[in-house]
Structure 1
Amino acid sequence: MSPIQTDLLPDTRRALVHRLATGQVEGRAPSVVAAVVRYGHPVWMGGWGSVDGSPPDGDIQYRIGSITKTFVATLVLRLRDEGRLALTDPLAEHLPGMVAGQATVGALLAHTAGLVAEAPGPWWERTPGALRPGLGDVLGSDVQVHPAGQRHHYSNPGYALLGALVERIRGEAWGEVLRREVLEPLGMTRTTLLPVAPHATGWAVHPWADVLLAEPAVDTGLMAPAGQLWSTATDLARFAAFLIDGDERVLQSDTVEEMRAPASPPEAKSWDSGYGLGMQLLRRDGRLLAGHTGSMPGFVATVWVSADDGLGAVVMGNVTAGLAASALAADLLQTVAEREPRIPAPWRPLPALDPQLLDLTGLWYRGPAPYVLRPLADGFMELVPLSGGGRATRLRPTGDGGWKGINGYFAGERLRVELDAAGAVSHLDLGTFVFTRQPYGPAALVPGGVDPAGWRVD
């Protein structure tokens, strides 16, 4: 039996219920359902208010709005990992003739293509997709509102294009691709393009009186990749677990980590928020959260994860405005993180290690600065400054005897293991930075040479 207690403590559970209840009351939402994920599984789920006369549970569907975008980004990155496209590809390479054809796939994922925020015509979230029968109708003619790459500018039509990209490459509807490649492997059987009972009705609440107005729930057609999906707390909890650790049946953990990395500049007044590849980023009380918020008429939703804490939180409500779902989800996550900090997994020896790799481990010096190179259980390595500051990075094998940085300053840079005439390792070269076994030595390996007087006392 694991020594880690997976169930939450009673006081923690009560604090979660209290926060959920106050959120529902203050937000004047007919119903709110929430979940917390820890160690890859939901450890708490609660509902407040009612759906059709009963408290909501983990099986009630709500519309999740723009969280749909994270699912679409997952499909696009699967294509990238398969070699079917590159993030630097212009859209026109895969969808010829589009007005926004010069926008790159990566820019569309990160909302840096400078495209319009909304589709032309009537409010797309409240009107049938049949009003926009072609991709040209989704964008219109005047599509560029900012120079590409200059700033983050959220674009719903941009994700409609990404859905069309998936359909073009896979040769079938993006929703069917999503079901087969993501939802089924993750066990998300209650996540659908159209509502399937039991589901909540979307409501608007009058700003000055406690009365309700039903909101429309339309099929948005070609705009669906921007916000069409319906899901449940149980399903989104599974998705939150995936956004923390990945799943080899869908995306490897390093690709999910790439999604969580900043890919667009934040607004000058909002340095605590940003955007990755299909994921919003939020720094809150020193904790980095990743996930997405969502809203459609009658519904709001949020999924946040903290990879460092191994925690995720989900909130869904059936109200157009008033419920602070993002803050509520962040509060639920923080409640668990602070009351019950993550317990590290037991240390275990590596299952296997190549003797040649073992020879590379230990101290290396970039000039006079000491670094430690060590192998990791997942087959990667990490290079970390001994002082704790400086430029650390994780490295993945490239299959040809080299390595590539996957985060930090050296992300994308190649590490080459250089040999001497006798075939022994002489030094490491990481993006032109030379690492040697002694500080500034041997002199012949150090770019620019070394003072022939050597180390001395002045």
Structure 2
Amino acid sequence: MLLPTTEFALLRRLATEQVSGRAPSLVAAVVRDGELVWSAARGEVDSAAPDNLTLYRIGSITKSLVAAVVMRLRDEGRLHLNDPLEAHVPGTSFGSVTVAQLLSHASGLTSESPGAWWERTPGGSWTELNASLGPAEVKHRAGRRFHYSNVGYGVLGELVARLRGGSWLEAVHDEVLRPLEMSHTTDRPSGRHAKGYAVHPFADVVLPEPEHDAGAMAPAGQLWSCVDDLARWTAFVGGDTGEVLHPDTVAEMREAAVIDDSGAWNSGYGLGLQLVHANGKRLAGHTGSMPGFLACTMIDPATRTGAVAFANTTSGVGILSLTADLIAMADDHEPPLPAEWRPSAVEESLLELTGLWHWGPSPYHLRVLPNGWLDLSPATGAGRASRFRPLGDDRWLGLDGYYAGETLAVTRDAEGCPHHLDLATFVFTRTPYDASAPVPGGVDERGWQPAGADESEG
């Protein structure tokens, strides 16, 4: 739990937003290290304060759960992210777009389904949706730019249904909600739930908003959830993934695939997750809006502090800024403590790799990390730094930075001692440009000389 002073600061931020946004009700929570550590509510649902099990519509947060199922299919080998859609859902007018482009809103598809506004109109079948999506509904060249597409997630819902042999909703329930114990999340409101309202812009009166089954567009924003369930999902996005996905896959989902350059480059999109720079933090999660509702889940994977928020109003509440502020305030008031350092066993073959290496004349330090990982960083200043995960047989895989995805290999001498490193064609040696190593281009046989010495000999 948090300190009383921290809890009061969070409550005041929530209360101020509820008043300034004129929300009939507003609930929020903070998650840290996978646990719900604070929650509060303002306003009323059915004449009483909402609680952590009161359902709100979460809108486009639904997309992230659908994306998790797509990534499970990828990890199972049922599809590749670079597969064209037509390989799995033939018969569309945009079959050349890839699964990855659909996940990251880079497919170029129209933002909304043709016809009446889908968020306020009961939806039809996939056959009807597909028939409405002609060539004119491709608004941009695939891969050209970020263009948010609700339609794209309707398409992904159909892809999931075909590969799983059931509905997208059944797949999300069986593969995400049930394993994560998100037992209250559902496609239609049940039990205690908030009613969606539009608040008049110039008077303190409200208008009920409609709620319906969006049909083939439902994967773009159908689900309802509560504080308890969405807190668990927030922890999942931060890396507490349970058995649903490997943490490396969720980290891949958090990588920026496209940047939203409609203004300052403060936001982007990964594989089903929104990415936001706010308050000096890089957050991952998703916002959601449907007529009558706003929702948000965000987490800072670096501190493992996240937040969720729900409001039953169509507009007015700064749901993303509220969520980002709650995360920053929790970390500012109670910074997470670093894990205690403890000595650990290290294989001798790794110890002899550590120390100073040189890429040409540039010095680098190689350090051993837990679990046999390595860290290669410039000895001074900024430069190409990466961490590496062991692959076996003196080979490591780059995880981040310039060398992400590249292989670091150790070459040993006749006595079995490390002689040089080979990293993406770059040779690292114990001394600068060691002539005994296969340095690309060779090493001048005259060795190191005073500046200008080679010119004077000419």
TM class by shorter-chain length? over 0.9
CA deviation digits over 1:329-370, x for unaligned, max 9? 1111111111111210111334x5444344333332212222
Asked if structure 1 preserves the Cα contact closer than 8 Å seen for 2:63 and 2:272, the reply is yes
Q: For residue 47 of structure 1, what is the aligned residue in structure 2?
A: 41
Q: For residue 406 of structure 2, what is the aligned residue in structure 1?
A: 413
d(CA) in 2 for partners of 1:26 and 1:310?
29
Q: For residue 20 of structure 1, what is the aligned residue in structure 2?
A: 14
| Cα offset, 1:411, TM superposition | 1.7
Within the candidate set 300, 309, 314, 1:306 is matched to 300
> Which amino acid is the alignment partner of residue 44 of structure 2?
S
Asked if structure 2 preserves the Cα contact closer than 8 Å seen for 1:404 and 1:412, the reply is yes
Q: For residue 456 of structure 2, what is the aligned residue in structure 1?
A: none
Q: Secondary structure at the match of 1:166?
A: helix
Asked if structure 1 preserves the Cα contact closer than 8 Å seen for 2:180 and 2:232, the reply is yes
Within the candidate set 114, 117, 124, 1:123 is matched to 117
Distance 1:135 1:413, change over 3 A: farther
Provide the aligned length of Structure 1 versus Structure 2. Answer: 451
CA deviation digits over 1:227-284, x for unaligned, max 9? 1111101111111111112324012222211111111133152211111111111112
Q: For residue 176 of structure 2, what is the aligned residue in structure 1?
A: 182
d(CA) in 2 for partners of 1:315 and 1:296?
14
Within the candidate set 66, 84, 104, 1:110 is matched to 104
Q: Secondary structure at the match of 1:185?
A: coil
Within the candidate set 180, 185, 188, 1:194 is matched to 188
User: Is 211-220 or 392-401 further displaced after alignment?
Assistant: 392-401
User: Is 208-217 or 438-447 further displaced after alignment?
Assistant: 438-447
> Which amino acid is the alignment partner of residue 377 of structure 1?
P
Matches within 5 A, 1:50-69: 50-69=44-63
d(CA) in 2 for partners of 1:433 and 1:268?
38
Q: Secondary structure at the match of 1:181?
A: helix
| Cα offset, 1:443, TM superposition | 4.7
Asked if structure 2 preserves the Cα contact closer than 8 Å seen for 1:443 and 1:450, the reply is no
> Which amino acid is the alignment partner of residue 193 of structure 2?
H
Q: For residue 438 of structure 1, what is the aligned residue in structure 2?
A: 431
Asked if structure 2 preserves the Cα contact closer than 8 Å seen for 1:99 and 1:143, the reply is no
CA deviation digits over 1:20-61, x for unaligned, max 9? 001011111100110001121111000100000111111001
| Cα offset, 1:404, TM superposition | 2.1
d(CA) in 1 for partners of 2:297 and 2:15?
18
Asked if structure 1 preserves the Cα contact closer than 8 Å seen for 2:420 and 2:437, the reply is no
d(CA) in 2 for partners of 1:424 and 1:235?
53
Within the candidate set 356, 361, 365, 1:363 is matched to 356
Asked if structure 2 preserves the Cα contact closer than 8 Å seen for 1:120 and 1:137, the reply is no
| Cα offset, 1:456, TM superposition | 4.2
d(CA) in 1 for partners of 2:132 and 2:175?
26
Within the candidate set 77, 81, 91, 1:83 is matched to 77
| Cα offset, 1:163, TM superposition | 1.4
Structure 2 residue 150 is the aligned partner of structure 1 residue 156: yes
Q: Secondary structure at the match of 2:6?
A: helix
Asked if structure 1 preserves the Cα contact closer than 8 Å seen for 2:306 and 2:327, the reply is yes
Matches within 5 A, 1:207-286: 207-267=201-261, 269-286=263-280
Within the candidate set 161, 166, 169, 1:167 is matched to 161
Distance 1:423 1:330, change over 3 A: same
| Cα offset, 1:105, TM superposition | 0.9
d(CA) in 2 for partners of 1:170 and 1:431?
39
d(CA) in 1 for partners of 2:422 and 2:411?
7
Q: Which has the larger radius of gyration?
A: 2
Matches within 5 A, 1:275-424: 275-350=269-344, 353-398=346-391, 401-420=394-413, 423-424=416-417
d(CA) in 2 for partners of 1:316 and 1:233?
8
> Which amino acid is the alignment partner of residue 364 of structure 1?
W
d(CA) in 2 for partners of 1:244 and 1:80?
20
CA deviation digits over 1:65-94, x for unaligned, max 9? 111111111111112122222111111111
| Cα offset, 1:112, TM superposition | 0.9
Asked if structure 2 preserves the Cα contact closer than 8 Å seen for 1:246 and 1:252, the reply is no
> Which amino acid is the alignment partner of residue 88 of structure 1?
N
d(CA) in 1 for partners of 2:348 and 2:92?
53
| Cα offset, 1:378, TM superposition | 4.6
Q: CA RMSD in A?
A: 1.9
| Cα offset, 1:197, TM superposition | 1.1
Query: Identity over aligned residues, as a percent?
Result: 54
Structure 2 residue 420 is the aligned partner of structure 1 residue 427: yes
Q: For residue 3 of structure 1, what is the aligned residue in structure 2?
A: none
User: Is 290-299 or 127-136 further displaced after alignment?
Assistant: 127-136
Asked if structure 1 preserves the Cα contact closer than 8 Å seen for 2:236 and 2:242, the reply is no
Asked if structure 2 preserves the Cα contact closer than 8 Å seen for 1:163 and 1:174, the reply is yes
| Cα offset, 1:439, TM superposition | 2.0
d(CA) in 2 for partners of 1:229 and 1:293?
13
Distance 1:166 1:421, change over 3 A: farther
Q: For residue 451 of structure 1, what is the aligned residue in structure 2?
A: 444
Asked if structure 2 preserves the Cα contact closer than 8 Å seen for 1:293 and 1:303, the reply is yes
Asked if structure 1 preserves the Cα contact closer than 8 Å seen for 2:259 and 2:267, the reply is no
Q: Secondary structure at the match of 1:315?
A: strand
| Cα offset, 1:188, TM superposition | 0.9
d(CA) in 1 for partners of 2:442 and 2:75?
41
User: Is 108-117 or 405-414 further displaced after alignment?
Assistant: 405-414
> Which amino acid is the alignment partner of residue 304 of structure 1?
M
Q: Secondary structure at the match of 2:39?
A: strand
Q: Secondary structure at the match of 2:364?
A: strand
d(CA) in 2 for partners of 1:138 and 1:44?
46
Q: For residue 8 of structure 1, what is the aligned residue in structure 2?
A: 2
Asked if structure 2 preserves the Cα contact closer than 8 Å seen for 1:98 and 1:136, the reply is yes
| Cα offset, 1:139, TM superposition | 3.0
